[in-house]
Amino acid sequence: MGSGNGIVPAIQLHNGLEMPRFGLGVWQAREGDEVLRAVTAALDAGYRLIDTAAIYGNEEGVGHAIKTSGVPREELFVTSKLWNDSHAYNDAIHAFEQSLERLGMDYLDLYLIHWPLPMEGKFPEAWRALEKLYNDGRVRAIGVSNFKPPHLEKLLETCTILPMVNQIELHPRMQQHETRAFCTERSIAIESYSPLMQGGAVLAEPAITQLAKKHQKSPAQIVLRWHIQSGFIVIPKSVTPARIVENIDIFDFELAPSEMQQITNLHANQRIAADPDYAQFK
């Protein structure tokens, strides 16, 4: 299979915590059997990072799959996220506790503010709650998701702890150069969601299909390898066990600098998720 424990490289976050650079995203995985099967298949294939969120509605299934997997909790890296209706300080603390309860855990490895909602301007208050949870040892790392440089600038005015991770939409057609540069300068790790673009539109690109043929890998494996070699943490989402196994099988080959460049050249500033400047769903 070419994967398994110990194969996935880790990144050291700026607080010294090691985070696996490859994991499973469970967005749109239905609560119950579907998410249970997906997480179980991932853990069996050597995944150790599982990324969920309160709004996904599947934290219970994720927790159950982990509990029955036999993989020791301390070997896993579990992420969840604070939803948009809980940016007030007390609401954020309460939302975190509810997530823990649904997961059946007594700590999280990473907790993220899911969206900045800049028009409400309450995310610095939510961040204060995350700092409290971090200082109390209830979460081992804290970060943000969908934050652009202006949102981070605002956070930096009042925060006492710098975000450790920024999880953003990132794929060959949407490469977020400005956000990446801002974060890299401040040792904030970049995590790619929708790494293959929703619907995998990027996988039919001639540059990708040719590299897949050349390396005898699938187009998805080529793109995921590009993420890894670009230095990102990457969390492809799938509920198909065979695809979950295939996705992690990217640590036995390397793309040459010129091949990396071919993929980087596909950038088109093509966002598929909401623009964080305007997203205000509750």
Rg of the chain taking only CA atoms, in angstroms: 18
The greatest distance separating any two alpha carbons of the chain, rounded to the nearest whole angstrom, comes to 54
DSSP summary character for residue 34? H
Q: Alpha-carbon distance 48 to 146, whole Å?
A: 23
How many CB atoms sit inside 10 A of residue 28's CB? Answer: 13
Catalytic residue among 56, 111, 134, 193: 56
In DSSP terms, 167 is beta-bridged to 145, 191
Q: Which among 118, 122, 125, 180 has a CA at the least distance from the CA of 150?
A: 118
Q: Any catalytic annotation for residue 56?
A: yes
Residue with tokens 């995350």: 130
Q: Which among 121, 107, 50, 110 has a CA at the least distance from the CA of 82?
A: 110
Residue numbers annotated as active site: 56
